[in-house]
């Protein structure tokens, strides 16, 4: 499912803004449950990329973290090895477990 959200999302630990007015997909699974795919994020740092086998195959990903409290929020897709997954490259996964849902979406 693809949706636009007209609010902002904050790190659950630091309440620091991490995303706003962003296009996303809401049908992703992270290591700690449901996750959303963002086109862009703010106040987020990025670690080194590494290859990981995820539910959709092999990807090169880099962990992302809140710049304020350094809590790991999810990851950035650096490279997708499967052609059907190329749309994820350069995008970010943030797990719902790490976000404050400021506008009441599910």
Mean pLDDT score across all residues of the chain: 81
Instruction: Give the pLDDT band (50/70/90) at residue 21.
Output: very low
Nearest to 95 by CA among 44, 19, 31, 6: 31
What is residue 84's predicted lDDT score, i.e. its pLDDT? 94
Instruction: For residue 34, give every residue at least 6 positions away whose Cβ sits within 8 Å of its Cβ, in sequence order, or none.
Output: 26, 28, 95, 96
Q: What's the pLDDT tens digit per position in 50-90?
A: 999 988 899 999 999 998 889 999 999 999 999 999 999 99
Q: How far apart are CA 9 and CA 35, in angstroms?
A: 13
Give the residue-averaged pLDDT of 14-32.
64
Q: Which residues pair with 54 in a beta bridge?
A: 57
Total-model pTM? 0.80
Q: 79 or 43: which carries more pLDDT confidence?
A: 79
Please name every residue paired with 100 in a beta bridge, in sequence order, or none if there are none: 10
CB-facing half-sphere around the CA of 63: CA atoms within 13 A: 9
Domains and CATH numbers, the chain: 2-101 (2.170.150.20)
Q: What percent of the chain has pLDDT over 90?
A: 39
DSSP for 29-54 reads: EETTEEEEEES--SSEEEEEEEEEEE
Query: How many Å apart are CA 85 and CA 57, to the nearest integer?
Result: 9
């Amino acid at each position: 499912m693809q949706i636009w959200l007209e609010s902002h999302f904050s790190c659950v630990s630091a309440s620091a803004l991490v995303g706003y007015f962003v296009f996303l997909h809401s049908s992703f699974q992270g290591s700690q449950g449901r996750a959303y795919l963002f086109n862009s994020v703010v106040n987020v740092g990025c670690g080194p990329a590494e290859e990981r086998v995820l539910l959709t195959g092999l990807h090169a990903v880099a962990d992302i973290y809140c710049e304020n409290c350094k809590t790991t929020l999810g990851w950035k897709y650096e490279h997708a090895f499967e052609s059907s997954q190329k749309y994820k490259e350069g995008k970010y996964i943030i797990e719902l477990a790490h976000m404050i849902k400021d506008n009441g979406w599910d």
